[in-house]
Amino acid sequence: MKKIPCFANILTSTFLHFNSIGKIKEYDFWRNGITSWDDLQRYLEGYQLSLFNDNYKNPLLQEIDASRKALLEKDSDYFSSKLPSREYYRIVLSFYEKTLFLDIETTGLSKYYDYITLIGWSYKGKYHYLIKGDNDNLLRKHLSDAKCIVTFNGSIFDIPFLKQEIKDLKIPQTHVDLRFLSKRVGLHGGQKEIERQINIKRPKGIEEIDGKAATILWYKYRQGDLKSLKSLIKYNYRDVLGMEIIFDEIIKRLLKINPFPLNNKPVYQFRKNKNIPGFSLEVPKELWKNKIDYLNNSSKSITINDIKKDDVKLKIVGIDLTGSESRATGCCFINDNWAQTKLINSDAEIIEYTIRKNPHIVSIDSPLSLPTGRISVSDDDPGRDIYGIMRRCERILKKRGINVYPSLIPSMQKLTERGIKLANKFRSMGVPVIESFPGAAQDIMKIPRKRSDIKMLKEGLIRFGIKGDYQINDISHDELDAITSAIVGIFFWYGKFEALGNMDEEFLIIPDSNIDNTFWKNKTIIGLSGPIATGKTTAGAFLESKGFYYTRFSLILEKLLIEKGETVNRENLQKIGLEFKKGGQRNFCKLLYNELPDKGNIVIDGLRHPEDHVFFTEFFGPHFIHIYIDTPLQLRNERYIKLGKSAEDFHKSVQHEVEGNVDKLLYLSHFTIKNEKGIKDLESTIDNTLKSIQK
């Protein structure tokens, strides 16, 4: 009969958890032959008899008694609450029979958007795995029973993911993270790199799999490939096994550095002392004794039909912009659910291509604004050191675990500059623009990014429901990202999005299929435009009587004139309006937007520039309705004179520069109303138009 070895109990030689005893003092005890709690007790009792009476008891003796009691009761939490976390390996070596090694696989790195696909763990000499959708009772049972848990990078990755995804999960307080413990013995890098450093090779077929490849295996499994799931389990199995090997190697090296008094007893080794058939460097065939079929439990992919709930033939242009005209930009036009893609170089060609498609919205993959306080993209910007290189939207994505480049790092500066110029040009032409980030969108939609697997990216876009020649033809990764960018426009148009950022820096739009878009759908924003004296104010008053909140651009200008102590009249309003136009009409729109109520329908009187139409489309999507009111010039002149003004005043106002873009709004409007017969007829026409809008 094989004799079971008696292993050294590192904890009974540990004094670090006692008050007032540090590393140096612990070493001093060991060097002087005090190598256990019993030795320390005898030493303290002898010291006590020589100096004190029997009524005094050294506090350390009380701590020794408490430690013995905790060890007898297998109370590992007692020791983890007193030892520094870097010494938790001592607890593991003393509670090895209750130590669980754990590793998870996920769809990505973001705890905010990604999810766990597989959990693998080793406990009491046996490997177990849990696939997403399966019952988690065994995992809960083993974690509740375990006294210690060992992971690699688990404090940053595995444990936070587990706590977020599986509620009320009991995780042992004693947690050893090998990523950090390995550095103490000169082993650096990821788990596979450390395995290479200690000359451990992975079996053929598994050695090339990494976290990114594991994600692809899961995507393939979700499409019905059970072999990919087997490969994923093998990979996870080997990661769990590798952690045990690494732990043993770390302990071997630590014992050379730290003179632990082992008293001629060996320490427990998880690999050497494990007598489990098949649990070796090769994956045991017994893992496949039961049929693996969890496809019905896998999370369902979102499709365009989950978002698009009407018959509108939505037209979106998606642009995956490059930093230079010398490099082709991927462009995509989605008409309803059909995508056409093209590679285009120059800005002029991109603009011409887009205008020809007449899209509802343009979605551009590029930063379209600067961080607040910055005035240029270059590093010699005077605000560089104060305001930095990142916008709020980028900080939010970073915090959520989405890999995103700061908009003003050197490699992004030309792209950001080009994106801002292109967006400004589009907006000046009345074309609404949103900023998108295909990489984040693909993460959120659970589609592999192009750098992970371009084939899987294409298949993911097809599964979403976007058809086109790209299904059978090879296209570039830039065109695939352009399709994704256009898809973000679809999410935006139907209110299934989240806007990251702030008003000053603009917003980055990312998909959010779970958001409640009732507020988005039930809100109507009507913008009124047209030349002077067409009846816009009358139309606005009528809509106000129908429950709309009424405002107009001139109210903001009037407020500013009053603050400056100037007279409120048309001449001064046009003058300050022109100043705003030169300083940025979009900023003027932001001022008005900030005055709008959060709830209810709104009518905005006095749109004068294409940028006005664009701004409110970008903020309210299909729920912004632009009505252009038109009246013959002679009739407008007569109405103006009836108000007590002169024909000369009318001519001067009409010719003013601030009115120069009004005619362009006719071609951007959704409805055009002829106001030639009087107030009652105008109100009736407005009422019928409103019913049509609401229908």
Average pLDDT, the chain: 88
Query: pLDDT tens across 317-329, in order?
Result: 999 999 999 999 9
Q: Check: CB of residue 375 under 8 Å from CB of residue 381.
A: yes
Domains of the chain listed by start with CATH number = 87-297 (3.30.420.10), 304-517 (3.30.420.10), 523-694 (3.40.50.300)
Q: Check: CB of residue 420 under 8 Å from CB of residue 369.
A: yes
For residues 589 and 234, give the distance between their C-alpha atoms in angstroms, rounded to a whole number: 58
Phi, psi of 455, rounded to the nearest 5 degrees? -65, -45
- pLDDT reported for residue 285: 58
Q: Check: CB of residue 498 under 8 Å from CB of residue 510.
A: yes
- pLDDT reported for residue 3: 52
At 294, list the tokens: 């969890």
Strand locations in 356-505 (E) = 361-365, 433-436, 467-468, 497-502
CA nearest to 497, candidates 573, 582, 428, 436:
436
Residue 478: CB atoms within 10 A of its CB come to 22
Give the global pTM: 0.80
- pLDDT reported for residue 70: 95
- pLDDT reported for residue 174: 97
Share of the chain above pLDDT 70, in %: 91
Residues of the chain with pLDDT under 70: 1-5, 47-57, 203-211, 273-300, 451-452, 570, 577-578, 580-583
Report the chain's terminal Cα–Cα distance, integer Å. Answer: 87
- pLDDT reported for residue 1: 41
What distances in angstroms separate CA 346 from CA 321, 412, 413, 442, 632, one per listed residue? 10, 18, 18, 27, 41
Q: 527: part of which helix (H) or strand (E)?
A: strand 525-529
Query: pLDDT tens across 283-311, in order?
Result: 555 555 444 554 544 456 788 988 887 77
Q: Check: CB of residue 217 under 8 Å from CB of residue 210.
A: no
Query: pLDDT tens across 376-387, in order?
Result: 999 999 999 999
Q: How many helical (H) and strand (E) elements, i.e. helices and strands, does the chain have?
A: 28, 18
84: which residues sit within 8 A by CB, 6+ positions away? 16
